[in-house]
Amino acid sequence: MRLKNGSFGGNGLSAAMDFRPLPSQLPELIIYISAMRPLCFSHQDVGCIDRTMPDGLPQLFLHIPKQPSSSLVRPPSTPLTINPILTPTGQGVQRVGMTTPWLEAFPKTCKPFLQEMDHILSTPLSSIIANGPNSTLTATENAQPAIMATSIMILRILEQEFNFDTSKRVDVTLGHSLGEFAALVAAEHLHYPDALKMVRRRAQVMARCSREASASEGGEYGMVALVCEPDRLSSLIATIHDFLGHASPGSRDDSASDVPPIEQVLIANINSKNQIVLSGSIERINALLVQLRQFGGHDPRAVRLLCDSPFHSPLMAPAATWMRDTLSTTPIHYPGLFPCISNVSSRPFSSAKDLQDLLARQAVETIRWWDSIKFLDQEFGVRRWVGIGPGKVGRNLVGKEVGMQGADVVRGGGVWGLSHPREVEGVLRGLEETEGLA
């Protein structure tokens, strides 16, 4: 059974969305799961819950081994995560003043880094980050480069202020959605200036896609997170694909090719064992939820994300085309310092050509975050994870999936986050304490 072209009804959003307050543990699973925008609840949507949540996960994860490796040929001994995710205020994890504590604590490293960022973009982005206003910072074309640059700045602080040798201490890296760009910079697959300019321009194209969709077709566009019981996730995904006519996450088979992008809905993120994100027309997502509840045997909790762009959906096709053209002339280094996990394949990029293809497709295909974490945790035995960048949700999400929070000397690893200078000492101490225990 599938939804045919034009079969969506005109029911109001509230009829299909369940905005009941979530149990206290669930926001930890939803936050930091996308990278294109943050998962945010409004007071009207969830009542008593007053916390922001990202729609995807802009985090970057690095795995720290005892010895450097150029490919994942055996289980890594210790992992580290970097965290370049999007905004948790309004749009996600970005917030006015997020670079100020770092600048005050480490001016020698941060001041020239922020000056370089402004020079690369020919925009006073550092002033926007420091002083706002929030409405300007949360604009997609500002929020995305701001988050990505802040994540890389924190990594540079580790390297320059604490003699952290990334090339020797990190074994593998991955980033959620937007975070994938920071992951590629950390692995030196991409040069930082090239990646920063790419993120900025890509964000501008994405914002334009959303504006044009609203202007030409009307209606609302955005993303909706669905939370279900863990043992129901596979069935929920299969039912959604059946209704929508997709054979697999992120696929665009012939059965859906005759449906205009403006009318398509896609699973944008598979973030955890019980949470996915839908992207596209809110009216069509609403109708899909009605179908799931009435005819599909599923009743997931739906949370509208505070973002007005349908990231990782067919509407972002112009951004994918722009990325493909840009990557064809952008220097890509392969192999890099260490492997980087693709959001689309949930496996390491296998070549420069593979990187070009998958990074471009990321704009319109499903972010397989949960598969990526399972791959590193279950198949390669990653034990140490460090999230670097604004916000702390990525640390919580990974921690729940791998069963660790902070240092875990029994299991020989840990999950840490670096979003404020006061956390640096504890993270480095935790890494030292767990060295060689895996």
Decide which of 217 and 189 is more confident.
189
Instruction: Determine the Cα–Cα distance for residues 197 and 148; give it in Å rounded to an integer.
Output: 11
Q: In terms of pLDDT, which residue wins out, 72 or 345?
A: 345
Q: Report yes or no: 171 and 69 within 8 Å, Cβ to Cβ.
A: yes
pLDDT band at 279; cut points 50, 70, 90: very high
Number of Cβ atoms within 10 Å of the Cβ of 343: 31
Task: Report domain extents, the chain.
Answer: 13-51+211-304, 60-210+318-359+377-434
CB burial of 345-365 (b: ≥16 within 10 Å; e: otherwise) equals bbbbbeebebbbbbbbbbbbb
Q: Is a pLDDT exceeding 70 seen at residue 68?
A: no
What distances in angstroms separate CA 175 from CA 34, 115, 188, 374, one per listed residue?
10, 25, 14, 14
pLDDT given at position 49: 27
pLDDT at 414 over 50: yes
Summarize pLDDT for 188-210 with one digit per residue, the tens. 999 999 999 999 999 999 999 98
For the segment 135-184, what is each residue's pLDDT rounded down to a tens digit? 999 899 999 999 999 999 999 999 999 999 998 888 889 888 898 999 99
Task: For residue 353, name the pLDDT band (cuts at 50, 70, 90).
Answer: very high
3-state secondary structure the chain: CCCCCCCCCCCCHHHHCCCCCCCCCHHHHHCCCECCCCCECCHHHHCCCCCECCCCECCEEEECCCCCCCCCCCCCCCCCCCCCCCCCECCECCCCCCCHHHHHHCHHHHHHHHHHHHHHHCCCHHHHHHHCCHHHHCCHHHHHHHHHHHHHHHHHHHHHHCCCCHHHHCCEEEECCCHHHHHHHHCCCCCHHHHHHHHHHHHHHHHHHHHHHHHHHCCCEEEEEEECCHHHHHHHHHHHHHHHCCCCCCCCCHHHHCCCHHHCEEEEEEEECCEEEEEEEHHHHHHHHHHHHHHCCCCCEEEECCCCCCCCCHHHHHHHHHHHHHHCCCCCCCCCCCCEECCCCCCECCCHHHHHHHHHHCCCCCECHHHHHHHHHHHCCCCEEEEECCCCHHHHHHHHHHCCCEEECCCCEEEEEECCHHHHHHHHHHHHHHCCCC
* pLDDT beyond 90 at 126: yes
What is the rounded average pLDDT for all residues in the chain?
Answer: 78
Bridge-partner residues for 172, per DSSP?
63
Mean pLDDT across 419-433: 91
Lowest mean pLDDT among 65-79, 182-196, 283-297, 369-383: 65-79
Cα–Cα distance between 313 and 278 in angstroms, integer?
9
The burial of 179, by beta-carbon neighbours within 10 Å (0-12 exposed, 13-18 middle, 19 or more buried), is given as buried
Q: Give the pLDDT confidence score for residue 250 in this predicted structure.
A: 45
pLDDT, residue 48, reads 28
Say how far apart CA 319 and CA 284 lie, in whole Å.
Answer: 22
pLDDT at 258: 57
In angstroms, the CA 15 to CA 289 distance is 9
- What fold, for 60-210+318-359+377-434? Malonyl-Coenzyme A Acyl Carrier Protein; domain 2 (3.40.366)
Mean pLDDT computed over 363-383: 90
Token readout for 357 is 């293809």
The predicted pLDDT at position 88 comes to: 25
What strands lie across the sheet with 265-272, from one edge to the other?
265-272, 275-281, 221-227, 301-304
**Model confidence at 387, in pLDDT bands (50, 70, 90)?**
confident
Average pLDDT (325-339) is 96
Count of CB atoms situated within 10 Å of the CB of 148: 32
- Percent above pLDDT 90 for the chain: 51
- pLDDT of 64 reads 53
Residue 286 has a pLDDT of 94
More confident: 279 or 74: 279
Is the dihedral angle over the CA atoms 177, 55, 29, 415 positive or is it negative? positive
Which range (42-46, 61-65, 286-290, 417-421) has the least confidence?
42-46
pLDDT for position 264: 83
The mean pLDDT value for 4-26 works out to 33
- The lowest-confidence range among 17-26, 52-61, 171-180 is 17-26
pLDDT of residue 337 exceeding 60:
yes
286-321 tens-digit pLDDT: 999 999 999 999 999 999 987 778 999 999 999 999
Residue 307, token pair as written in the block = 């973002």
Looking at per-residue pLDDT, the higher value among 17 and 61 belongs to: 61
